[in-house]
Amino acid sequence: MRNQHNKFITSVVFALCSMVAGAAWAQVPKTPLALKPNAPERYVVVPGDTLWSIAERFTDSPWRWPELWNLNKDQIKNPHRIYPGNVIVIDRTRGQLALSGTVKLSPRVRAESTAREAIPSIPAQIIEPYLTRPLLIEPDGLDNAPRIVAIDEGRVLTGNDGKAFVSGMGDSKEPSWYLYRRGNALVDPDTSLTIGYEAIYLGTARVIRPGEPATVELASVTQEIGLGDRLVPAGRPEILSYAPHAPGASVQGRVVSIYGGLQTVGEAGIHSIVALNRGKADGLELGHVLALYRHRGTVGDAYKTKNALDAAVALPEERYGLAFVFRVFDRVSYALVMNVTRPVSPMDVVRTP
């Protein structure tokens, strides 16, 4: 009984210390935004630039883009439209950037950008496949998704150019669909609750005859398709136009999974996709930037005392990178890893930078 009481007291003390530390951290004043000493006085935007890469040319804090352009909260969702050929200049008296005219680019570059598409927040070619594909299956998310009930010629599995019969499409007019199946469970390390399942992308399907069941033809299949596999409408990806910005309130969570396409992997580098145990319910939104931290653990201090518990010294945690949130669900978000100095691992901490 005494041991249980001691454990309870220890847990309460630990929780109170964590709350005090968290409150103290949340009240740390933000340092003024500093422009790099070697930042260019004038920069011409070129195809391939992103809001993030431009901010990095001028400051070491690219997530503070709103301050760099003097944007308010509403404008963050509709940042300045910046196009190839625009000229960006520094206003050093205010420590901010401004647009100043447009430069004619070479004929080759101009031909590539005739559509006048604004530059994205982060590299579009990296995140585009993940903007419409299902990344997360919520615990009850399989209940209503169309599913493969039979495969042509009585097969159990099929691949590219195979035909399958799908139940549950109803009167949908969507011609293209993504195929997926439920993968590993995402378990919140803070609560030990299952907050969703990774969606394993399998390929695409095209409806060739509607009905119940509908007939689909399979294409770009990444692994064999079987009975029970699910489908979601493909749709068209919408490239992010949200400016990078820090959450308005203190947010702290963990990396719960590293997305590897067909399976989850153990570590992630720059431009990898990670799942976080925080989402809309926790105040996260598109464009939020979070700092990545690693706990270094504890070491023994043999010179301090002979008591092993007292000799344990907690090492300071290490901040080693940033992550840009680009898909948000209720309790889970997906982020693109940016600017890391070491690999990202599950259980690493994410926090308002």
List, for residues 318-348, the tens digit of each pLDDT value: 999 999 999 998 899 999 999 899 999 989 9
Better-predicted residue by pLDDT, 239 or 59: 59
Beta strand 96-102 with 86-91: parallel, antiparallel or unpaired?
Answer: antiparallel
130-233 against 252-351: fold identical: yes
Length of the chain: 353
Q: What is the mean pLDDT of residues 171-199?
A: 88
pTM: 0.76
Where along the chain do its domains lie? 42-119, 130-233, 252-351
Measured CA to CA, the distance from residue 226 to residue 240 in angstroms comes to 34
Give the pLDDT confidence score for residue 107 in this predicted structure: 53
Beta strand 157-158 with 147-151: parallel, antiparallel or unpaired?
Answer: unpaired
The values of phi and psi at residue 191, to 5°, are -120, -10
Q: For residue 150, is pLDDT > 90?
A: yes
Q: What is the mean pLDDT of residues 133-156?
A: 80
Residue 165 β-bridge partners: 150, 215
Q: For residue 252, is pLDDT > 90?
A: yes
Distances in Å between the Cα of 297 and the Cα atoms of 9, 314, 316, 337 are: 22, 6, 8, 23
Q: How confident is the model at residue 95 (pLDDT cuts 50, 70, 90)?
A: confident
- Say if CB 313 and CB 301 are below 8 A apart: yes
Give the pLDDT confidence score for residue 15 in this predicted structure: 36
Domain 252-351: homologous superfamily in CATH: FlgT, C-terminal domain (2.40.10.410)
Q: What is the mean pLDDT of residues 78-96?
A: 87
For the domain made up of 130-233, give the CATH fold: Thrombin, subunit H (2.40.10)
Q: Which amino acid is at 47?
A: P
Q: Which long-range contacts (CB under 8 A, 24 or more apart) does 109-118 make?
A: 109/46, 109/47, 109/84, 110/85, 112/47, 113/47, 113/83, 113/84, 113/85, 116/83, 117/83, 118/81, 118/82, 118/83, 118/241
Instruction: Decide: helix, strand or coil at residue 111.
Output: helix
Mean pLDDT of the chain, nearest integer: 80
Residue 102 β-bridge partners: 86
Q: How confident is the model at residue 5 (pLDDT cuts 50, 70, 90)?
A: very low
Q: What is the mean pLDDT of residues 85-95?
A: 88
Query: What percentage of the chain has pLDDT greater than the value 90?
Result: 36
pLDDT tens for each residue of 287-326? 999 999 998 777 766 565 555 555 677 778 899 999 999 9
Q: 101-115: buried (b, 16+ CB within 10 Å) or exposed (e) per residue?
A: eeeebeeeeeeebee
Instruction: Decide: helix, strand or coil at residue 157.
Output: strand
Q: What is the mean pLDDT of residues 249-265?
A: 76
- Say if CB 251 and CB 351 are below 8 A apart: yes
Q: For residue 128, is pLDDT > 60?
A: yes
Which burial class, exposed, middle or buried, applies to 140 when counting CB atoms under 10 A from its CB (0-12, 13-18, 19+)? exposed
Give the pLDDT confidence score for residue 127 in this predicted structure: 84
Which residue in this structure is represented by tokens 């939104």? Answer: 285
Give the pLDDT confidence score for residue 305 in this predicted structure: 56
Dihedral of CA atoms 124, 126, 130, 131 in degrees, nearest 10, equals -10
Measured CA to CA, the distance from residue 33 to residue 22 in angstroms comes to 23
Measured CA to CA, the distance from residue 289 to residue 278 in angstroms comes to 13
Q: For residue 42, is pLDDT > 60?
A: yes
